[in-house]
Chains A and B, each alone.
Chain A
Amino acid sequence: MRAAVIVFPGSNCDRDLAVAFEQAGFSVEMVWHKDAALPDGIDIVGVPGGFSYGDYLRCGAIAAQSPICKALAAHTERGGYAVGICNGFQVLTETGILPGALLRNAGLKYICRTIGLKVETSDSAFTEGYNAGDVIDIPIAHHDGNYFADDETLAELRDQDRIAFTYAENPNGSRDDIAGILSHNRRVLGMMPHPERAADSGHGGTDGTALFRALAGVLAPA
């Protein structure tokens, strides 16, 4: 099983994400934003948190135009798996791989704390290690995590069971308390909270481990 983690200038959760993948049994290749292609045989691409390109223009906007993101879009169009966490989620919405956008937090403050995250569906490679309705403890660390989508898109996400996670208590003004969503084919997950920061006993919590283990279970060679 091979995972690629994209590194942008300003990424700062790339190594944490790589470690979380490795602990679940993946071999990991770090991929630079200027690379125009992903390594062959990659099972999943991780788009990490951080402040790609200093969050200039809009969070994730410049990263979304980078050469590697064209390769990422082609990978997801082929049905490849991807997960974008925090800034990675912002990049996935800016590329149009996932619908909606992340606005400035309603309270205007950067929020960095562990929150209760409710698992809305266990029907995905990312969430099948949880039960729908579980509330897990996962850190958030963002200034622009306020999920916005129009009414039509929200209805579609609900009807297709594509809301992966919601906040038990909405910290940032996200519509419908949304913290993470899935693509049409359920193979791309974008989420603001950081499961890779709750994936080792040294982190003070391990509720994120099940996400990476479930992925490893699905992507392990049959």
Chain B
Amino acid sequence: MKARVHVMLKNGVLDPQGEAVRHALGALGFDQVEGVRQGKVIDLELTEGATEADVTRMCEKLLANTVIERFEIELL
């Protein structure tokens, strides 16, 4: 079983890296871009019987810092 965890900065938390990417896209002439947010994707290979609740606990304890980040779990 596999799970994919998406970790993104919460709305309202400044994302300087996303902003830098937005500027760079603008400099390349991509004026269609109004905003960029950059995050992380973490793929987990899980043992048989692991549950989404287990992955949620992993996110809360380590994979995301819930002070600044939100996470979404995708079971693959």
A residues apposed to B, CB below 8 Å: 57-58, 61, 65, 93-94, 99-101, 103-108, 146, 148-150, 173
Docked complex: B5-51 residues within 8 A CB-CB of A: 9, 13-14, 16-17, 20
Contact B16 A148 (CB under 8 A): no
Contact A105 B67 (CB under 8 A): no
Contact A108 B62 (CB under 8 A): no
Contact A105 B16 (CB under 8 A): yes
A203 CA / B20 CA spacing, docked (Å)? 35
- Chosen A-B contacts, 21 in total, with CB atoms closer than 8 Å, are A57-B62, A57-B63, A100-B67, A101-B68, A103-B13, A103-B16, A103-B68, A104-B17, A105-B16, A106-B14, A106-B16, A107-B16, A108-B16, A108-B17, A108-B20, A146-B16, A148-B67, A148-B68, A150-B67, A173-B14, A173-B16
Residue of B16, B61, B62 near A104 (CB, 8 A) is B16
Ranked nearest first, the 10 interchain pairs of A and B with the lowest CB-CB distance are A101-B67, A101-B68, A108-B16, A104-B16, A106-B16, A108-B20, A101-B65, A58-B65, A148-B68, A104-B17
A173 CA / B20 CA spacing, docked (Å)? 15
Interface of A is mostly: loop
A108 CA / B19 CA spacing, docked (Å)? 10
Q: Name the distance in Å between B59's Cβ and chain A's nearest Cβ.
A: 12
A180 CA / B4 CA spacing, docked (Å)? 36
Q: Name the distance in Å between B66's Cβ and chain A's nearest Cβ.
A: 10
A105 CA / B9 CA spacing, docked (Å)? 14
Q: Name the distance in Å between A37's Cβ and chain B's nearest Cβ.
A: 22
A129 CA / B16 CA spacing, docked (Å)? 36
Q: Name the distance in Å between B60's Cβ and chain A's nearest Cβ.
A: 11
Q: Name the distance in Å between A168's Cβ and chain B's nearest Cβ.
A: 21
Which residues on B sit within 8 Å (CB–CB) of A146?
Answer: 14, 16
Nearest CB to that of B42 among chain A residues?
Answer: A57
Nearest CB to that of A100 among chain B residues?
Answer: B67
Q: Name the distance in Å between B69's Cβ and chain A's nearest Cβ.
A: 8
Please give 11 more A-B residue pairs, beta carbons under 8 A apart, in addition to A65-B61, A99-B67, A105-B16: A57-B62, A61-B62, A65-B62, A104-B17, A106-B14, A108-B17, A146-B14, A146-B16, A148-B67, A148-B68, A150-B67
